[in-house]
Structure 1
Amino acid sequence: MTDSPDDSRAGHAFISYVHQDRDAVAKLQKILSSAGVPVWLDKEDLWPGEDWRLKIRRAITKESLVFIACFSKNSSARDVSYQNEELNLAVEQLRRRPPGGTPWLIPVRLDDCEIPEYEIAPGRMLDSLQMVDLFGKDRENAASRLVGAVIRSLGTATPGMPITAKLDGSSEAVAQVKEMLLDPTRRIELHDLVTSIANKCRTTLSDEDQFPFTLEGTGKEITRAAVARVEQYWQVTKPVLEILAAGCTWGEASNERLWSSTVRGIANLVKPASGKTMLLNLRYFPPLVALYAAGLAAVYGQNYGALRAVTIDTKVRTDYGVDVPLLARSHIARPFENNKLLANILAIQASQPPESYPEFDALFDDLSADRIGGKYTPVSDYLHDSLHETFSFLILDPDDYTEAFDKLEVLLSALAIDLKKIPETYADGPWIGSFTWRRRYNASTAEGEMQAELKEQGARWSPLQAGLFGGSLDRATQAFDDLIERTGRHRLYQL
């Protein structure tokens, strides 16, 4: 709802629709609002007693920087609707704009319907404009492309217009990163902003006063301290994770080095001279969660160049002074080596709302005595549940989030298999993710679907085009064959 009847909401995206589609349009509004885009909707922006025709005309002709026309079977079934008046106004405005300029009228299909026959110029119909389909299997990627197109229209139509509204579940820095990504002339600003946030994170992580490694106490007390340590790591790295989520979704090839150096700075911390093994192992947690955040964003945005930049191009120093790809030192078990108890405590807590967390002492005792069972893939489960909040501004549907997470883990596992086979590469090797138990009773598996995609597309497969698996179809094929065999054995164990 607008703050007052005089609020003009200038510089907005106008959404045109029929009221039978109000639920679908509400989801679209939420997607745009989450990206910091101001939206005009009649149900929110018209006040009782207002001249609605005058207000809508003004909202379209004077204040709209992009017009989104939503079509569906509902709209096709109506011969008369207010949407027709809105569309007539929009087409009238479109005809006044120079051809080839910034996209202004964007047709959106909410289901498998026909676009109405509107002539937008002599000999040119409405369906000649690039449309967006917000339904079907590719709806989330289509929504991301729509958001990108709308933001570009807003940013280009009004130079310097700040798109810095607070995002749902994210920081203002994320909005600034997204705005700078749209403008190549702000490349230095983007570098300075991201680097300053990453350096602050690195400095804090390196402070042994805040993150001591020499603690005294029993096994339970050290485990309690380890649980608290992981929470500290989350809080310190959260700004970096959010930036990686935005950057690796929408960034271009010219930004890949920035994401790589950001993750490398977190991974290349000086090893403490001594300390408790459990706490020393946890120093691998920040780079692991940064890898997952960057990778999840890259997979969701189909930005596989960013995934290559972070997993393979990013080189980290081992304890023996050898530089290896980050993925070679990012096995999911590294932070929790030989400590499934800690991993299960974290996973069980993360699967529930904070107010419902089981009491630590009881959970520790029950798991230690095998009174309750642990999870098949506790670290994977923990990362899946804990990263969800970081991506709340980007991926709205929980099922779509899980699908992207599973695709990431399948790719990471296949890439780890491939790395392990490269001579003189000291790599950890693959791991099994939570996608195995989620699909253990299904004929179709996440890795099987990706393997089928690889076979169908061959050398045209997007990850290969981006240079993953060295761009080699043979290497990718062998890695997936190996992965399918490994996951098959693991699922037999789960049954």
Structure 2
Amino acid sequence: MIAPIHSLAFSIQANRGVYAVLVGSGISHAAKIPTGWAITLDLVRKLAKVVGEDCGAKPEDWYREKYGCDPDYSELLDAVAKTSAERQQLLRTYWEPTEEERDEGAKQPTAAHRAIAQLVSKGFIKVIVTTNFDRLMETALADVGIVPTILSTADQVHGALPLIHTQCCLFKVHGDYLDTRILNTPEELSAYPVEFDRLLDRIFDEFGLIVCGWSADWDEALRRAITRAPSRRFTTYWAMRGEPSASAQQLIDHRGAQVISIKDADSFFVSVQEQVASLEEFSRPHPLSTEAAVASLKRYMSESKYRIQLSDLVFSELERTIEAIDASGFAVQGGPVPTGETITERVRAYEAACATLAPMAVQAGHWGEAAHTPIWLRVLSALATLHEGGSGYVFWLELQQYPAALLFYALGIGAALSERLDFLSDLFGVTVAREHKEDKAAVKMFAAACLLSNSGGKGLEGMQERFSPLSDWLHDRLKPWCKRIAVTDAQFTMAFDKLEILIALSYGYHSQQSLDSYWAAPPACAYGSRRNNGERIIKEIQQSLDDAGDKSPYVTPRLFGTSAAECKMELEAFSSFIAKLSQRWY
């Protein structure tokens, strides 16, 4: 059987704004707030002391014997404090914390108050009925930006907006502590103003009910209001410690209420709020567009409190990408023969599978922080090791790395546009552990010209005559995803060329070999068809190494060397190699 508290969470999440909360003094118990009756008895003790008598263990009996009537909150206040200002000052000591009490956390909103406020802020709860005089609920609501409609007198109820038009209605049926008209005695609690009854009839008829911290023993008028309600269209949930009183049991039976056994109000409401939040997160539809997914990603990256949501979003999209890649359209044997047409078709199919993940990666590379890096390195590794070994057409086997390479470049271009050289170092240097092959640094696996060793991507549509076909292809594919972070096309192209130069330098560094061979510095646009960009970027890097030395941002993350001297050697060897390539190309 499903536990009642779980049913409650499902009901709240599925029926936003349908449930009202009825809370009594039990919700404020943890805050060390006295009940109205406790204050009345304390006033009796003070009165007894003033007249020089001992009221004993039962001050109400002493008061009854001396004055011939039951102790009355309002009459006592009138007796000990003659003006409204004096009465307010007297009452503040009971409900407002001293500095010492504030340090102890006393007379502050409890976890239960704050959990209810969270439910209100998300629109799950609209109506709160309370028998409490304190203002802890108001404070908790204010802390989440909610200004409730507060009703505590007949006049306020008479002039109130309909419940449907309020964000939150806080109905204080026994009054507010700063108003001496609060209800205390059995006689006062036996009947409400007609305006109260009408509003309560509507609430108990039209809303589901969550009861907590209310014994039902003393509040006759409130009991009658619940009994009068004709409708049970929504369930009543009654949370309590121990066994219900006789009065509570009658109402439970009358409403057919679901009883929830709880430890205390705090743990109950916190649990409900967390379960509703979890259901809301689970039920949230996946973004229907890439733009929506990117917007969610940026929001989650903006604050550390969203780290779990960020991880869930990224890995959920990774799962969808992998499901698409695992489809039969990507068979490596028994399928289409690699030709210019089928190669282009398959590359575009891979890009369609990564159509949301890759644009997210661009933003992650650009806006991310160090805490986000492990998430994306895990995603890259997952794509890189998705298919290992096997047999089939060599080109199709090699092309299985294209999704990982696309992600590698997407992360890289985002970082290049924001000069996140530390992230690029982590990205280039992360070791991809491969079960049946040698482990490699990512930069040695996904540099554009290393990916398709047999053709370099010349089979792609329109790339047959390019110096670096796959590099040009990636340049064109990445550009639309960078429109909001690259002001102009020229800025994007410069960042892309810088990325490829840094890839080449890092490739040589991680290869630990001379930059005299073709594969040590794979050909790319920046030192092929766009030599001016390449020369400008190399000069910029050289200037940084000369000016900052070992403190250069190219040295500190060990992007392509551990010292300025080592980086300069790599840069000089790279420049020499590019000159040789240029002679061959031109």
Task: Normalising by structure 1, report the TM-score.
Answer: 0.55
* Contact kept? 1:245, 1:293, Cα under 8 Å: yes
1:451 aligned onto 2:542: yes
Q: 1: CA distance between counterparts of 2:355 and 2:533? A: 35
Change (3 A) 1:286 1:475: farther
* Contact kept? 1:206, 1:269, Cα under 8 Å: no
Counterparts of 1:278-289 in structure 2, within 5 Å, are 278-289=395-406
* Contact kept? 2:361, 2:411, Cα under 8 Å: yes
Change (3 A) 1:443 1:286: closer
Q: CA deviation at 1:333?
A: 2.8
Q: What residue is the counterpart of 1:369 in the other structure?
A: none
* Contact kept? 1:281, 1:334, Cα under 8 Å: no
Amino acid of the residue matched to residue 482 of structure 1? Answer: A
Change (3 A) 1:442 1:298: closer
Q: CA deviation at 1:411?
A: 0.4
Q: 2: CA distance between counterparts of 1:316 and 1:399? A: 37
1:188 aligned onto 2:304: no
Change (3 A) 1:269 1:443: closer
Q: What residue is the counterpart of 2:333 in the other structure?
A: 214
Q: 2: CA distance between counterparts of 1:393 and 1:485? A: 36
Q: What residue is the counterpart of 1:333 in the other structure?
A: 449
Change (3 A) 1:189 1:317: same
1:482 aligned onto 2:536: no
Q: Deviations over 1:415-441 (max 9, x none)?
A: 001111179xxx963312101134447
1:257 aligned onto 2:374: yes
SS at match of 2:333: coil
Amino acid of the residue matched to residue 343 of structure 2? Answer: A
Change (3 A) 1:470 1:385: same
Match of 1:346 among 444, 457, 460: 460
SS at match of 1:394: coil
Q: CA deviation at 1:314?
A: 4.4
SS at match of 1:405: helix
Q: What residue is the counterpart of 2:149 in the other structure?
A: none
Q: CA deviation at 1:399?
A: 0.2
Amino acid of the residue matched to residue 326 of structure 2? Answer: S
* Contact kept? 1:246, 1:297, Cα under 8 Å: yes
* Contact kept? 2:445, 2:451, Cα under 8 Å: no
Amino acid of the residue matched to residue 344 of structure 1? Answer: K
Bigger mean CA offset, 447-456 vs 176-185: 447-456
Q: 1: CA distance between counterparts of 2:378 and 2:335? A: 36
Q: 2: CA distance between counterparts of 1:436 and 1:274? A: 36
Q: CA deviation at 1:409?
A: 0.5
Q: What residue is the counterpart of 1:205 in the other structure?
A: 325
Change (3 A) 1:443 1:272: closer
Q: What residue is the counterpart of 1:494 in the other structure?
A: 585
Counterparts of 1:101-180 in structure 2, within 5 Å, are 170-180=290-300
* Contact kept? 1:311, 1:325, Cα under 8 Å: yes
Q: What residue is the counterpart of 1:117 in the other structure?
A: none
Q: 2: CA distance between counterparts of 1:452 and 1:462? A: 12
Q: 1: CA distance between counterparts of 2:564 and 2:391? A: 44
Q: CA deviation at 1:470?
A: 5.4
SS at match of 2:391: coil
Question: Where do 5+ consecutive residues of structure 1 fail to align?
Answer: 1-166, 350-372
Q: Deviations over 1:447-489 (max 9, x none)?
A: 2332333223222222322342354323322221111011111
Counterparts of 1:218-257 in structure 2, within 5 Å, are 222-257=339-374
* Contact kept? 2:380, 2:404, Cα under 8 Å: yes
Q: CA deviation at 1:344?
A: 3.0
Change (3 A) 1:277 1:453: same
Amino acid of the residue matched to residue 466 of structure 1? Answer: P
Amino acid of the residue matched to residue 446 of structure 2? Answer: S
Q: 2: CA distance between counterparts of 1:299 and 1:226? A: 29
Change (3 A) 1:486 1:326: same
Q: 2: CA distance between counterparts of 1:192 and 1:387? A: 25
Q: CA deviation at 1:492?
A: 1.8
1:392 aligned onto 2:512: no
Size of the aligned set, in residue pairs, is 298
Q: 1: CA distance between counterparts of 2:368 and 2:554? A: 16
Amino acid of the residue matched to residue 239 of structure 1? Answer: T
Change (3 A) 1:281 1:478: same
Q: What residue is the counterpart of 2:246 in the other structure?
A: none
Change (3 A) 1:318 1:396: farther
Q: CA deviation at 1:195?
A: 1.2
Bigger mean CA offset, 400-409 vs 445-454: 445-454
Q: What residue is the counterpart of 2:216 in the other structure?
A: none
Amino acid of the residue matched to residue 452 of structure 2? Answer: F
Q: 1: CA distance between counterparts of 2:343 and 2:405? A: 16
Question: Where do 5+ consecutive residues of structure 2 fail to align?
Answer: 1-286
Q: What residue is the counterpart of 2:556 in the other structure?
A: 465
Q: 2: CA distance between counterparts of 1:445 and 1:452? A: 11
* Same amino acid, percent of matched pairs: 22
Change (3 A) 1:300 1:441: closer
Q: Deviations over 1:234-286 (max 9, x none)?
A: 11112111111111111111111111111111111122522112211111211
* Contact kept? 2:449, 2:471, Cα under 8 Å: no
Q: What residue is the counterpart of 1:20 in the other structure?
A: none
Bigger mean CA offset, 331-340 vs 274-283: 331-340
Q: 2: CA distance between counterparts of 1:233 and 1:405? A: 21
Q: 2: CA distance between counterparts of 1:452 and 1:180? A: 37
* Contact kept? 2:472, 2:525, Cα under 8 Å: yes
Amino acid of the residue matched to residue 293 of structure 1? Answer: A
Change (3 A) 1:197 1:483: same
Q: Deviations over 1:303-353 (max 9, x none)?
A: 122212221124241642x3221112224234422225xx2352626xxxx
Q: 2: CA distance between counterparts of 1:225 and 1:206? A: 18
* Contact kept? 1:170, 1:393, Cα under 8 Å: no
SS at match of 2:480: coil
Match of 1:414 among 493, 505, 509: 505
* Contact kept? 2:343, 2:460, Cα under 8 Å: no
Q: 1: CA distance between counterparts of 2:472 and 2:534? A: 22
- Cα-Cα RMSD: 2.9
